[in-house]
Amino acid sequence: MKSHTTSAASEGLIDVHAHALPPMFLAAIEAAGGDPSGFPSPDWSPQAAVNSLNLSGASLGILSISAPGVSIAGTGQAARNLARALNAQLASYATSSETSSRLSFFGALPDWQDVNGTLAELDFLFSQQKLCKGVTVFTSYGSYLPSDPLFKPIWDRLNHYRALIFLHPTTLDIIPRFVAGGLPQPVIDYPIATTRAVVDIIFSGIMRDYTDIDIILSHAGGTLPYLANRIECLLLNPALANLASISLEDVKASFAKLYFDTALSTSAAQLDSLLIFTNPDRVLFGSDFPYAGREAIAAVLEQYYAFVATNTRGSALRPEVLRENTLDLLARHEHRDD
């Protein structure tokens, strides 16, 4: 794999889509019978995360707990304890003398079906610990999408803390669960889960009403850039528009507010579609390490740098542009004292 190592920590990309697999998380997955998405848990360590940053030419990685997240432990006290332990472990990577200059994190939350536990963890992250760059939110919790009225207190609290949200796909409870006789859901279903969740969030009015949050969509927004015009055009049908509780103008404004990472999404088809759909200042770098291994990251980086060098839109996504986009977004969501 070609190295894109930068000359100083103050330069280079910022990886907003890099996962951590602390031992306690792996133990919880094993105790539950494995990852329900069908994807095998890869090897991970803090040093491996730093090595991946070096190979990508990234100076900073923002770690997150990937699907299935804390939900793997249910919705009781054991799951609350797991969320707290994971946030303590993530904070240790962000403050350790060996990795603090290279690693930060998005906080882990309990399954949102445990509303009170989620509110308590948000208070811990933003009022006590004050180290996370934002929080990871999943595309569904059990049979609930993120905008369900059950979760309104959580959105209220997220907006109160001006939280940056990293929206990550999780397992779809569908039959059959896997295509092609066992292909893990991250291959095909995760981009669809992302699209369903963000459309749900937008059509519920969350992006319109909660003005102090921002949302990063994984994997270039799933299929949203491709389907957005279809959604807008169908809302011109009065019968369908009457089913929505949000205007076409508000839908378009909500689309424009979203951020997108490039994890496993750097082909010309994907990046061209993304730049047709949104402005370049909404695009951030992501690797999906370690679920994307060295070979996959090498391939997407090669595609990315080829796009920058040869595509007529390529200069809009130069590494320094993606870095500045991320720095601006993180500055908007720095912790404040309330």
DSSP for 264-307?
A: T--SHHHHHHHHHHS-GGGEE----BTTS-HHHHHHHHHHHHHH
Residue 4 inside a domain? The answer is no
Residue 2 inside a domain? The answer is no
Mean pLDDT of 132-141: 98
Look at residue 6 in the predicted model and tell me its pLDDT.
43
Residue 5 inside a domain? The answer is no
Distance of alpha carbon 240 from alpha carbon 260, whole angstroms: 28
Residue 5 has pLDDT above 90, yes or no: no
The helix (H) or strand (E) run that includes residue 166 is strand 164-168
pLDDT band (50, 70, 90) for residue 243: confident
Angle at 288 between CA 126 and CA 113, to 5 degrees: 45
Question: pLDDT tens digits, residue range 52-73?
Answer: 999 999 999 999 999 999 999 9
Residue 3 inside a domain? The answer is no
pLDDT band (50, 70, 90) for residue 15: very high
Residue 126 inside a domain? The answer is yes
| Residue 54 burial by Cβ neighbours in a 10 Å radius (0-12, 13-18, 19+) | middle
Residue 7 inside a domain? The answer is no
Out of 36-45, 85-94, 122-131, 232-241, pick the least confident: 232-241
Q: What is the mean pLDDT of the chain?
A: 94
| Residue 338 burial by Cβ neighbours in a 10 Å radius (0-12, 13-18, 19+) | exposed
Distance of alpha carbon 18 from alpha carbon 168, whole angstroms: 11
Beta-bridge partners for 217: 167, 260
Question: pLDDT tens digits, residue range 270-329?
Answer: 999 999 999 999 999 999 999 999 999 999 999 999 999 999 999 999 999 999 999 999
DSSP, collapsed to helix, strand or coil, labels residue 64 as: strand
CATH of residue 36's domain is: 3.20.20.140
| Residue 180 burial by Cβ neighbours in a 10 Å radius (0-12, 13-18, 19+) | exposed
pLDDT band (50, 70, 90) for residue 228: very high
The helix (H) or strand (E) run that includes residue 75 is none
Residue 14 has pLDDT above 70, yes or no: yes
- Transcribe 21-50 into DSSP letters: --HHHHHHHHHTTS-TTSPPPPP--HHHHH
Distance of alpha carbon 193 from alpha carbon 180, whole angstroms: 18
Task: Please name which of 261, 287, 282 lies closest in space to residue 54, comparing C-alpha atoms.
Answer: 287
Provide the domain count of the chain: 1
Residue 337 inside a domain? The answer is no
Residue 338 has pLDDT above 90, yes or no: no
Distance of alpha carbon 235 from alpha carbon 195, whole angstroms: 17
Residue 181 inside a domain? The answer is yes
Residue range of the domain that includes 206: 13-332
